[in-house]
């Protein structure tokens, strides 16, 4: 054991280092510690911009056995601040693999620990909520247990310093992380003669969302999160997509104002953070969940049809159902685990959103039909006068 994860409350978990450089001078290896219950898809998870500023714990024990490849990344690079797993397999066996997960992490300088008691760590997060933590080198720790807590039979000055470092890391609440991960300039995918033109506001968009829309015959222009409503309308979109992204939606006030202005002027589809921003634009409020929803097995009920879909999710905030009372939106989906709001639809204007990820990647494909619903919404004429 030559590495350690230390949490802000004094809990620590020792493990074996792999991946990127372990250094107290490095900005990597520090962040909010969360867990994901997906069985596969570690490459997609680690490259999802929604994990900006987070250390990801994978509950599935065997990680790395199929390596990584150039096609499965969801953004231009690794986004997670660190990785925690139980068993890491350094020699992958898969015809699509071009390198190991460890080499992939090392190239991006993202630190990782294996051999960690992930069951104990996840149960702790479930009990007390997501905690800030740091992954750091820790040699000569044979006198310490594999996992424990400072002050409960453990008195180690090195761990005490790492607790202070974790406590000094900024909380996710109140941070505008979307501005950190959004694209610097607009880019386009899809044919110029496509039937529909979708403008996607990039709050941390996953590439597979764009691919799903292109597969439906759309040309997609991805624009920075700070793009104004006037600039978006100048692109003459047939539809507006509000993408997924990391962190707290409340500080992303510039996007809320843009969405509020565009309601009724163009059909809107929001995903994850985009769903939360649409909820705020319609007068709702959001709140931080205890440990969030992250994984590919979350059951969601469609209240219009009664159908239950198994969904992929990755978020730490949610729209408060009570804040929507009296607003011009209706709740369309609820989470069967905790009854949180999973979908919204505007009563008058062509706008809807879901908290989960219909593109999956990784995850089930139960909700792919929502992209077709968005395409159908773009085919319908807007109510006379709404574009004025």
Domain residue ranges of the chain, discontinuous segments joined by +: 3-168, 178-379
Catalytic residue among 32, 44, 309, 359: 359
Catalytic residue among 197, 272, 315, 333: 272
Whether residue 346 lies in the annotated active site:
no
pTM for the model stands at 0.94
Can you give the pLDDT at residue 26? Answer: 54
Catalytic residue among 275, 293, 346, 357: 357
Please enumerate in sequence order all residues whose Cβ is within 8 A of that of 245, keeping only pairs 6 or more positions apart, or say none: 49, 50, 177, 178, 181, 182, 202, 203, 204, 205, 225, 272, 273, 274
Q: Band the pLDDT of 24: cuts 50, 70, 90.
A: low
Mean of pLDDT values over 249-271: 98
**pLDDT of 383 strictly over 70:** no
Structure tokens at 316: 């730490």
In contact, 274 and 201? CB cutoff 8 Å: yes
Cα–Cα distance for residue pair 51/34, rounded to 1 Å: 9
Structure tokens at 296: 């590919």
In contact, 131 and 33? CB cutoff 8 Å: yes
* Placement of tokens 């222009």 in the chain: 221
Q: Could you please state the CATH topology (level 3) that the domain comprising 178-379 is classified under.
A: Rossmann fold (3.40.50)
In contact, 65 and 190? CB cutoff 8 Å: no
In contact, 30 and 163? CB cutoff 8 Å: no
Can you give the pLDDT at residue 143? Answer: 82
Cβ neighbourhood burial of 307 (10 Å; 0-12, 13-18, 19+): exposed
Q: Band the pLDDT of 140: cuts 50, 70, 90.
A: confident
* Placement of tokens 């294996």 in the chain: 114
Which CATH architecture does the domain made up of 3-168 adopt?
3-Layer(bba) Sandwich (3.50)
Angle, helices 253-262 vs 273-281, to 10°: value is: 70
Whether residue 359 lies in the annotated active site:
yes
Can you give the pLDDT at residue 33? Answer: 97
């Amino acid at each position: 054991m030559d590495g350690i994860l230390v949490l802000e409350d004094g809990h620590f978990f020792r493990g074996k280092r792999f991946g990127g450089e372990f250094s107290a001078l490095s900005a990597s290896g520090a962040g909010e510690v969360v867990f994901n219950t997906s069985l596969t898809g570690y490459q997609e998870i680690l490259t999802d911009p929604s994990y900006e500023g987070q250390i990801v714990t994978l509950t599935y024990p065997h990680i790395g056995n199929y390596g990584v490849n150039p096609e499965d990344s969801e953004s231009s690079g690794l986004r997670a601040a660190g990785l925690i797993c139980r068993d890491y397999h350094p020699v992958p066996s898969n015809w699509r693999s071009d390198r190991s997960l460890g080499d992939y992490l090392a190239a991006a300088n993202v630190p990782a620990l294996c051999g960690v008691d992930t069951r104990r760590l996840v149960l702790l997060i479930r009990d007390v909520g997501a905690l800030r933590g740091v992954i750091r080198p820790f040699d000569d720790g044979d006198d310490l247990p594999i996992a424990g807590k400072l002050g409960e039979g453990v008195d180690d000055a090195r761990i005490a310093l790492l607790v202070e470092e974790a406590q000094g890391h900024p909380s996710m609440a109140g941070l505008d992380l979307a501005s950190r991960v959004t694209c610097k300039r607009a880019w386009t995918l899809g044919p110029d003669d496509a039937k529909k033109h979708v403008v996607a506001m990039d709050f941390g968009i996953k590439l597979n969302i764009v691919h799903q829309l292109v597969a439906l015959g759309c040309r997609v222009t991805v624009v920075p999160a700070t793009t104004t409503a006037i600039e978006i309308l100048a692109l003459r979109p047939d539809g507006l997509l509000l993408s997924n992204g990391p962190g707290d939606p409340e500080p992303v006030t510039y996007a809320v104002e843009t969405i509020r202005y565009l309601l009724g002027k163009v059909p809107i589809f929001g995903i994850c953070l985009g769903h939360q921003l649409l909820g705020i634009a319609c007068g709702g409020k959001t709140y931080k969940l205890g440990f969030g929803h992250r994984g590919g097995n979350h059951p969601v009920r469609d209240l219009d049809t009664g159908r239950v879909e198994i969904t992929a999710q990755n978020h730490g905030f949610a729209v408060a159902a009570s804040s929507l009372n009296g607003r011009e939106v209706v709740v369309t989906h609820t989470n069967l685990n905790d009854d949180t709001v999973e979908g919204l639809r505007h009563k008058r204007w062509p706008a809807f959103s879901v908290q989960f990820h219909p593109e999956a990647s990784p995850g089930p494909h139960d909700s792919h039909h929502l992209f077709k619903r968005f395409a159908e919404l773009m085919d319908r004429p807007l109510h006379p006068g709404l574009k004025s």
